[in-house]
Structure 1
Amino acid sequence: MLPKPKAALAQNTYAYESEPLVKPTGFREYDARWLFGSELNLMGVQALGMGLGTLIAELGQKPQIVTGHDFRSYSASIKYALISGLMASGCTVHDIGLCMTPMAYFAQFELDVPCVAMVTASHNDNGWTGVKMGANRPLTFGPQEMARLKEIVLSGSFVAKPGGGYRFHENFPERYIADLTDRPELKRRLRVVAACGNGTAGAFAPQVLEAIGCEVILLDTKLDHSFPNYNPNPEDLKMLHAMRDAVLAHQADLAFGFDGDGDRCGVVDDTGEEIFADKIGVMLARDMSALHPQARFVVDVKSTGLFATDPVLQAQGATTEYWKTGHSYMKRRTHELRALAGFEKSGHFFFNAPYGRGYDDGLVSAIAICDMLDRAHGQRMSDLKNALPKTWSSPTMSPHCADEAKYGVVDAVVREFQAAQREGRLVAGQPIRDLVTVNGVRVTCDDGSWGLVRASSNKPELVVVVESPVSEQRMHEMFAAINEVLRRHPEVGAYNQTI
């Protein structure tokens, strides 16, 4: 049996090679993320696998699990350490090899396996690793499961069982690609840029887009775990600007940008302008609710207010609920409400039947956007964007804040705005019309301008988003008001990007 994990161990020591290292803060709200080496070692990964296998048994689930890994220099070794722990706890592991995260979710259905453990740090900087886990397809773990997993692992309460096994599924990506492309080709020949940031999606996205009838222009599709150009993150302005330049150079219809593990998709239109994912969600909701009147949607609290006010959605009887940010939260809520789709500003989209199986897949999102354009009577992506009511929106902005401090800071910010509302104080020069506190705080002024502050679920930082339906100036005023409150907290550091 493995010894109880330690929260800290010095590297290049006997203890580091003989005991599991698992920093407690790596267990996050709905997945796990660590800096590999300083916060987690391979024995710690083995402990995580044994803890996950123990939890699967506790949940009464069949001990069968899909696993795969993303394209980082250390991901394969982490996966095999995880597999050793899972097998020691009695699980049969179905290994699909190098893959995107949605490919692992697909494998749960294709192989009839209930559980998943995908080794990926998604778009995090090199040095990070993590695991996305679930035991009830198409859902992934939420706070309750993560809290119990953390308790099992950190206390060393592993249950070793015989009967574990291993099966490698050769050429599994072919089955995934066939599933996505077994459909009629597009009627309209779209010229699309496939931007992958040298991440895992580069091995799969171009051939899927070509198979559905697109002319594909490759951008940073060669796998390179050093990410030499930019991190594969479709919310990152550097990636979006590279996509813009490629669209303009090749006179493309649009660009798709896929994140490091392929479960998110960003878009740049034919004019080279990035369209934030929440606005893409409004376009898709318009298209889908025209085919499915009275459709229900779920969106995260970072998303545009247009889901509630758009006249086209209102005319088509569409209804939308704002919910917690985070792929597990959104996936679960979309599933619970049997919504047609869920849209998250980060680019995680969740499509239920007939569009998908309920999990987030950047390629399913890209296909849905291509189909929308196929039905758009010759309109271009910019035409669909310009048809939306005008709003001025910020990108997602993330000031640094340590994991140990970020939730306390957000709680204090929530109390600050609640007090402002009670006392009738102005925010950005206007009264508060509404506060949503389901996930951090979203404060909306009388003119509809709003700002959000929440804690990041997977990095040591906060998340700030602002939007105004009035003017760019009002957007900047909302940001200034939000930032003024944050600057009262010395724990809050520099932003990764600002407006």
Structure 2
Amino acid sequence: MLPAPRADLKANTFAYEVTPLVKPTGFREYDARWLFEKEINLLGVQALGMGLGTLIREMGKEPRIVIGHDFRSYSASIKQALIVGLMSAGVEVNDIGLALSPVAYFAQFDLDIPCVAMVTASHNENGWTGVKMGAARPLTFGPDEMGRLKEIVLKGEYKPCPGGAYKYVEGMRERYIADLADNVSFTRKMKVIAACGNGTAGAFAPETLERMGLEVIPMDAELDHTFPHYNPNPEDMQMLHAMQKTVREQGADVALGFDGDGDRCGVVDDEGEEIFADKIGVLLARDLSSLHPGAQFVVDVKSTGLFVTDPVLQENGAKTVYWKTGHSYIKRKSHELNALAGFEKSGHFFFNAPIGRGYDDGLVAAIALLQMLDRNPDKKLSDLRKSLPMTWSSPTMSPHCDDEKKYDVVDKVVKAFEERAKSGGTIIGQKIRDVVTVNGVRITAEDGTWGLIRASSNKPELVVVIESPTSEENMKKMFEEMDAELKKHPEVGEYNQKI
């Protein structure tokens, strides 16, 4: 049996070749992510597989699992090491090969298999790897499961078990595309940009959209694990600006951008304006609540306040709950409430029946958006955008903060803003309307301008988001106040992008 992992191994040493390297901080709130070779080695991945197999049996689940990998130069080798560990723990592995995360989730239903392990670093830059896991479709692990998995792996409590097996499943890509495309058609002619950032979605998105009768212009759809143009992250302004340029050049109706593992969707409209995913969520909620009056929605704390104040949603009787940011949290809350849909500002969209199966899928979100346009044949997406009440929103901004320090920093920031509110203090020169601490801190001024600071769940970063319903000036003032609070903590570094 493998020895218990260590976190202090150096590459190119004897110990590195015979001992699992696993940095504890790689176990995140709802998935696992490490810098490959620096924070985890192949033996560490094997230990993770043994730990996951042990946990599956401990949870009383049938020991059968779907496994896939994204398009990075090292993902296949990481998947093989994970498979060895899973089989050692007595798990039947069903390998679907190169896949999107939603293809792996789909395969759980299609093959009637309870568990999933998708090797992907999602939108993280090259060098990162990770695994998204679940044992109760359509849900993925949350903090309880991840905490127990961490304990099993780091303490070397994994248990070898006979009965492990391996199957390679052919044709899952075609079955997934057919499931999405074969029963969808549009009465409206639409020209669509499919922006894939040279990530895995390039092998899935353009063909799926074409099979529905759309005119599709692939953009950076050739698979290239060096990501030569930009990181495939539809929340990153570099990718959005590239989408803007292509929409304008091609005269397209919309540009749809997919992240590295295809579970998120970003949107640029026909005028080349990016519409952040929370605003797309409001448009979709308007459309869906007109078809399903009184529909329940779940959104993350990074999302616009329009879900509560929008007059169309109010008229349709839509109900919205704000919840913790993170695909596992929103997915689980949407499932618990039997919500029609859940939305995250990062571009994760979750649709329950009759639209989807409850998991996040960038292509299912894209289809829902296109169907909304099809139901509004006299309106462009830009018209729908302009119909929303005006707000000024920031992109997601992420200053660096080490994994070992970020939660402590956020705790101090939360305390500072809570004390300010309790003592009758102000924010941007106004009374403080409320302070929400369900996930970091979201502080709202009297005029509805709000700012959020939370710890990133999957990178050594903090997350800052700002919105004002009154002016761009107040949005900038709120950012200055939030940033000033962060500058009190030397652990906080440079931002990836700013307003």
TM-score range normalised by the length of the shorter chain: over 0.9
CA shift, 1:184, in A, is: 3.7
2:151 is the counterpart of 1:177 = no
**1:299-378 map, 5 Å:** 299-378=299-378
* In structure 2, C-alpha distance between the alignment counterparts of 1:399 and 1:430, rounded to whole Å: 26
2:391 paired residue number: 391
2:408 paired residue number: 408
2:135 is the counterpart of 1:135 = yes
1:71 paired residue number: 71
1:410 partner letter:
V
1:254 paired residue number: 254
1:433 paired residue number: 433
SS in 2 for 1:431: strand
Q: What are the Cα deviations for residues 362-401 of structure 1, in whole angstroms up to 9, with x where unaligned? A: 0000000000000013200000000000000000000000
1:345 partner letter:
K
2:487 is the counterpart of 1:487 = yes
CA shift, 1:62, in A, is: 0.3
1:42 paired residue number: 42
* In structure 1, C-alpha distance between the alignment counterparts of 2:144 and 2:218, rounded to whole Å: 41
1:245 paired residue number: 245
Are the aligned partners of 2:102 and 2:360 in contact in 1 as well (CA < 8 Å)?
Answer: yes
**1:77-156 map, 5 Å:** 77-156=77-156
**1:449-488 map, 5 Å:** 449-488=449-488
2:403 partner letter:
D
**1:179-328 map, 5 Å:** 179-328=179-328
* In structure 1, C-alpha distance between the alignment counterparts of 2:141 and 2:376, rounded to whole Å: 37
* In structure 1, C-alpha distance between the alignment counterparts of 2:121 and 2:441, rounded to whole Å: 27
1:20 partner letter:
P
User: How much is the aligned-residue C-alpha RMSD, in angstroms?
Assistant: 0.5
* In structure 1, C-alpha distance between the alignment counterparts of 2:419 and 2:163, rounded to whole Å: 57
SS in 1 for 2:157: coil
Q: What are the Cα deviations for residues 86-140 of structure 1, in whole angstroms up to 9, with x where unaligned? A: 0000000010000000000000000000000000000111000000000000000
**1:155-166 map, 5 Å:** 155-166=155-166
* In structure 2, C-alpha distance between the alignment counterparts of 1:158 and 1:407, rounded to whole Å: 28
Q: What are the Cα deviations for residues 431-472 of structure 1, in whole angstroms up to 9, with x where unaligned? A: 110111100000000000000000000000000000000000
1:59 paired residue number: 59
* In structure 2, C-alpha distance between the alignment counterparts of 1:334 and 1:456, rounded to whole Å: 21
1:123 partner letter:
H
Q: What are the Cα deviations for residues 5-52 of structure 1, in whole angstroms up to 9, with x where unaligned? A: 011211001111111000000000000000000100000000000000
TM-score, length basis structure 1: 1.00
* In structure 2, C-alpha distance between the alignment counterparts of 1:337 and 1:179, rounded to whole Å: 26
CA shift, 1:185, in A, is: 1.1
SS in 1 for 2:297: strand
Show structure 2 runs of 5+ residues with no match.
none
* In structure 2, C-alpha distance between the alignment counterparts of 1:201 and 1:300, rounded to whole Å: 25
* In structure 2, C-alpha distance between the alignment counterparts of 1:387 and 1:177, rounded to whole Å: 33
TM-score, length basis structure 2: 1.00
SS in 1 for 2:158: coil
SS in 1 for 2:266: strand
Are the aligned partners of 2:188 and 2:377 in contact in 1 as well (CA < 8 Å)?
Answer: no
Q: What are the Cα deviations for residues 301-325 of structure 1, in whole angstroms up to 9, with x where unaligned? A: 0000000000000000001000000
* In structure 1, C-alpha distance between the alignment counterparts of 2:360 and 2:324, rounded to whole Å: 16
* In structure 1, C-alpha distance between the alignment counterparts of 2:117 and 2:218, rounded to whole Å: 30
SS in 1 for 2:68: strand
* In structure 2, C-alpha distance between the alignment counterparts of 1:462 and 1:193, rounded to whole Å: 31
* In structure 2, C-alpha distance between the alignment counterparts of 1:231 and 1:194, rounded to whole Å: 15
1:10 paired residue number: 10
CA shift, 1:213, in A, is: 1.8
SS in 1 for 2:427: coil
Q: For the structure 1 residues 376 and 62, does the alpha-carbon distance in structure 2 shift closer, same or farther, using more than 3 Å as the test?
A: same
Q: What are the Cα deviations for residues 59-99 of structure 1, in whole angstroms up to 9, with x where unaligned? A: 00000000000000000000000000000000000100000
1:31 paired residue number: 31
Runs of 4+ in 1 over 4 A off after TM superposition: none
SS in 1 for 2:130: strand
* In structure 2, C-alpha distance between the alignment counterparts of 1:63 and 1:266, rounded to whole Å: 36
CA shift, 1:478, in A, is: 0.6
* In structure 2, C-alpha distance between the alignment counterparts of 1:199 and 1:436, rounded to whole Å: 36
CA shift, 1:211, in A, is: 1.0
CA shift, 1:183, in A, is: 1.1
1:488 partner letter:
K
Show structure 1 runs of 5+ residues with no match.
none
Q: For the structure 1 residues 326 and 184, does the alpha-carbon distance in structure 2 shift closer, same or farther, using more than 3 Å as the test?
A: closer
* In structure 2, C-alpha distance between the alignment counterparts of 1:450 and 1:388, rounded to whole Å: 18
* In structure 1, C-alpha distance between the alignment counterparts of 2:306 and 2:222, rounded to whole Å: 37
* In structure 2, C-alpha distance between the alignment counterparts of 1:217 and 1:10, rounded to whole Å: 46
* In structure 1, C-alpha distance between the alignment counterparts of 2:475 and 2:213, rounded to whole Å: 40
2:30 partner letter:
Y
Are the aligned partners of 2:198 and 2:227 in contact in 1 as well (CA < 8 Å)?
Answer: yes
